[in-house]
A and B are shown apart, each in its own frame.
Chain A
Amino acid sequence: MTRYQAPVQGKVGQVIDVIVLLIMAIGALYIPLWMGMAGSSKVPQPVTDPTWESLGQNAVMVEQWQKLGFADAASASEMITARFDYSFSIGALVAMIVVIVGYYAILLRFSEKEYREVIAEKFGE
């Protein structure tokens, strides 16, 4: 088998590759956060004139809230009533499964192709 000779990458090419990688990483991960598109789906449920009782807090809980600096029910109301919305569609779940399985399938398929070249060159054919 002919030995593959990798081209030597110039300095400009190396810099461009690093910039591309940075753009992909920051673009995919940071920009959705920055634009408010990502985030936990935890939302507070507004309660008018909340009391500790209406917020479901017993005497010990109230005592601990006060030690933590929440003097009255109104100040802790937003924190107590915030809940995640775990409702989801089957379509979204299936799409997530397909994306994750598809990702690993791509990885294994392309890796295997590259790996065969590595083994062939290392051990000869």
Chain B
Amino acid sequence: MAKAEKIEHVGLARVLGPAHVWALGVGIVLVGEYMGWNFAVGKGGAYAALMACWFAGILYTCVAMIDSEVTSTVAAAGGQYTQAKHIVGPLMAFNVGLYLVFAYTMLEAANAITVGFLVDTVATMSGHQGGVDQRPFIILSIMFLAWLNYRGVLATLTFNLVITAIAFTAVVVLFLTTAGIFGAGPLRHADLLSGQAALPYGWLGVLASMHFGLWFYLGIEGTTQAAEEVRSPARALPFGTLAGVMTLAIAATLTWYVCAGLMPWEYLGQSGVPLFDAARLSGSYGLMVFLGIGTLFATLASANGCINDASRAWFAMGRDRYLPGWFGAVHPKYRTPYRSIIFLVPIALIFALGAPLDQVVTFSILSGLLEYTFMPLNIILFRRKWPLDTIKRGYEHPFHPLPAMVLLGLCGLAFFAVFLGYGTQLVAMIAFYIVVSLWFHFWRYRFVNRGAQFTMPWPKPRGY
């Protein structure tokens, strides 16, 4: 027992800098350029997807601004979960913790599905009759990355830094090669986006596209999960997160430009690996190989970051007894939340092996969307309970409460966008969170010490 308690109180290692924060954020999300975003084209056409991309960019700018302020003050493992615990209350924190775990675990499953699909596509192109069984590749990628996470955060995120840089370079090279900057290029926007292909569902399609438009950026807020392992949270977290949003906005626009100029929207809207397909259509074998590697690296980097983030959120909830305390243990040698890492592996596998990609992506987006809806409530309550003169922030976001109001409005639009075409998943997800909230409030919360949950050195909140 004494040994177990000792293990639980070993802290996470503070070894990460701003570049790691950037790599964690962009590494998780860059895969959104390689797969998934194009379902926005399927829901509204190519122009609708571009508009959704920019609206989602505004949404995530608000997320980054708000999140940077709170995170530069609440620098602890668990990110938004820990914020909710200190600012809104335990039940909200429990829900936010689950949003994080499910958003990242579903994203991890989506990445593994894409790895399997890519291997199958390459095998078919190489002349393998009937394709290959994707399941071993799905299982292998999840197990390998879980093992890497088990061994240590520095090695994990350094690995992410390298493969994210390669995947991002691949997007830029594809753009430079195909955009016609160095001569005639293969892009045919005028012909591929003419007539009914421009806006096949009209303006309702633009709204509907917002659903998968979030995929261009979903997960960037995961930078806050590393708060307890960053050397200088007040500087590194805002810098890493905002640099990440800018990187993704650029990559998203380049991706859209290349893909929309090479593929008919009906194909693009259903493609499993759109950037790889774009490279195939460019006519360059070398580019096709590079984008194949880029797709593989982007999915691995994303899945890697997802395991890191989901396990930190699960670990933080275990440490607070919101979940069984067994999960709150840190590995005595590697100093990682190893039990949480191992526990989430089979959940990722169940969805990766048994659910279609667009459904898994939708579950991830829905959990993310619920989390973004929490953020405006969080910042409004934060400023009300602790006005600017009561706590020193590492970063103060400007124009409050405008970003919060804009974020809330865009979240409302995104809920409606999901409702158009994926209403059943929306209902299933909300039903799950309602039931699990009642379970927490009426059963699980009895195992949680009250005052001990509040660990920040802050004064008493106003109004209490």
Contacts and interface: CB of A to CB of B under 8 A. Distances in A.
A9 interface: yes
B92 interface: yes
A116 B91 CA distance: 12
Given A30-B355, A60-B188, A68 B426 contact: no
Contacts of A104: 373, 377
B323 A107 contact: no
Interface string B323-367: 111100000000000000001000100110011101100010000
Which of A3, A6, A114, A116 has its CB near the most chain B CB atoms (within 10 A)? A114
Given A40-B358, A42-B42, A61-B192, A114 B90 contact: yes
Contacts of B343: 18
A106 interface: yes
A38 interface: yes
Interface residues of A, number: 74
B425 interface: yes
B192 A84 contact: no
A119 B435 contact: no
Which of A65, A84, A112 has its CB near the most chain B CB atoms (within 10 A)? A84
Contacts of B464: 116, 119-120, 123
A71 interface: no
A74 B377 CA distance: 52
B267 A118 contact: no
A24 B439 contact: yes
A121 interface: yes
Which of B92, B277, B321, B373 has its CB near the most chain A CB atoms (within 10 A)? B92
B401 interface: no
Contacts of B90: 111, 114-115, 118
B421 A42 contact: yes
B448 A6 contact: yes
Contacts of A46: none
Interface stretch (B15-23, B222-230, B453-461): B453-461
A29 B43 CA distance: 22
B267 A106 contact: no
Contact of B324 (A14, A67, A79): A14
A111 B88 contact: yes
Contacts of B435: 24, 28
Interface in B438-464: 439, 441, 444-451, 453-454, 460-461, 464
Given A39-B356, A82-B266, A111-B91, A61 B451 contact: no
Contacts of B89: 108, 110-115, 118
B181 interface: no
A31 to B, nearest CB: 9
Interface in B360-401: 363, 373, 377
Interface in A13-47: 13-15, 17-18, 20-22, 24-26, 28-30, 32-34, 37-42
Interface of B: 42-43, 88-93, 95, 102, 188, 191-192, 194-197, 200-201, 204-205, 208, 262-264, 266-267, 270, 277, 280-281, 321, 323-326, 343, 347, 350-351, 354-356, 358-359, 363, 373, 377, 415-416, 419-437, 439, 441, 444-451, 453-454, 460-461, 464
Interface of A: 3-9, 11, 13-15, 17-18, 20-22, 24-26, 28-30, 32-34, 37-42, 56-61, 64-65, 67-68, 76, 79-80, 82-86, 88, 92-93, 96, 99-100, 103-104, 106-108, 110-123
- 4 smallest beta-carbon distances between A and B, as pairs: A111-B89, A121-B451, A28-B432, A115-B89
